[in-house]
Amino acid sequence: MVNVGLIQTKNSSNTKENFEKTVEYIIKAAKDGANIICTQELFKSLYFCQTEDWENFKLAEEINPENQTIKILSEIAKQYKVVIIASLFEKRTAGIYHNTAVVIDADGEYLGKYRKMHIPDDPHFYEKFYFTPGDLGYKTFKTKYADIGVLICWDQWYPEAARLTALSGAKIIFYPTAIGWLPSEKEQFGKSQYNAWETVQKGHAVANGVYVVAVNRTGFEESPDKNEGIQFWGQSFVANPYGEIIKKASEDKEEILVVPVDLDMIEEVRTVWPFFRDRRIDSYQDITKRFID
């Protein structure tokens, strides 16, 4: 049995306060028994992709073991013997930036990073302005407590990403997330949008025989151009390999969830439903095409 910790918070424009609060919540989750703890997407700042603004690139940081953010998180991981997954804005070099998640093992060792592969470009989610698509592939990190995969937000909608992550050995897939409603759409589409988001991830859990952990932010964030803003819908959750939600956070409150997951269930489910065994890998060549005419 492994306990996963989900940190769902409201963010402000003060990056120092956001970071300190998340560190405080990570420590609390660790004290409450969490073994693997995941932050929400871009947890140190507001969701700055609502507008295209060159100033926001100043929020980015170089990602390596000498990075101050990673040093602090590594010390906490080592002290409390927890694995930490942290979502950060990465400056790779001048002009190349990524939406990146780092993984730190329970002894404080920096295991590496995943760069978000699928980059959206929608009203108030102008991520293509900021982020270069990831180039590190889909991978599994072998941590003290479990073999885990990390994908990020928009990756949630792609079965190929979940499949390849599971095929690389992941037993738990974590999704740091920042998703919500535009106020003008909530009444008409809000329920359907949320249901689609939850359903597709539950489907990934079933199709791959894995646990899915989605960690979303909450609260309303005003758009810098005063145009509508986003109401993040929270409701971070953990789904088991049957697609059942074990636990879910509220829509509008900061919460720390510590949820036990039984990794033995994966063996059981994959034996009963041998989807990996029955894959027709000889018939999937067209999956690499944009569209089949």
pLDDT one-digit tens code per residue, 31-89: 999 999 999 999 999 999 999 999 999 999 999 988 999 999 999 999 999 999 999 99
Q: Which of 163, 100, 111 is nearest to 141 (CA)?
A: 111
Q: Is 194 helix (H, G, I), strand (E, B) or coil?
A: helix
Q: Let me know if residue 155 belongs to a domain.
A: yes
Does pLDDT of 21 surpass 90? Answer: yes
The residue whose two tokens read 């306990």 is 3
In a domain, 165, yes or no: yes
Q: Which of 123-127, 145-149, 223-227 has the lowest average pLDDT?
A: 223-227
Residue range(s) defining the domain that contains residue 171: 2-288
pTM of the model: 0.97
Quick one: residue 21, left, alpha or beta (phi over 0 = left, psi -120 to 50 = alpha)? alpha
CA nearest 131: which of 225, 245, 52, 219? 52
Q: Considering its fold, how many domains does the chain have in total? A: 1
Active-site pick, 113, 116, 139, 248 = 116
Residue 293 within a domain: no
24 is catalytic: no
- Beta strand 172-177 with 2-8 is unpaired
Which two structure tokens, joined as six digits, stand for 177? 């997330």
Q: What is the mean pLDDT of residues 10-34?
A: 98
Q: 10 Å Cβ neighbour count for 36?
A: 26
Q: Which residue in the list 21, 41, 91, 248 is annotated as catalytic? A: 41
Residue 226 has pLDDT above 90, yes or no: no
Answer yes or no: is 218 within a domain. Answer: yes
Angle, helices 15-31 vs 68-80, to 10°: value is 10
Give the pair of three-digit tokens for residue 41.
Answer: 């997407």
Q: What's 228's domain CATH number?
A: 3.60.110.10
Residue 153 is among the residues annotated as catalytic for this protein: yes
Among residues 90, 113, 153, 221, the one annotated as catalytic is 153
Residue with the two structure tokens 């300190």: 20
- CA angle at residue 198 from 98 to 254, to 5 degrees? 70
* Cα dihedral 82→85→91→92 (10° resolution): 90
> Is residue 58 among the annotated active site residues?
no
CA-nearest of 94, 108, 99 to 44 is: 99
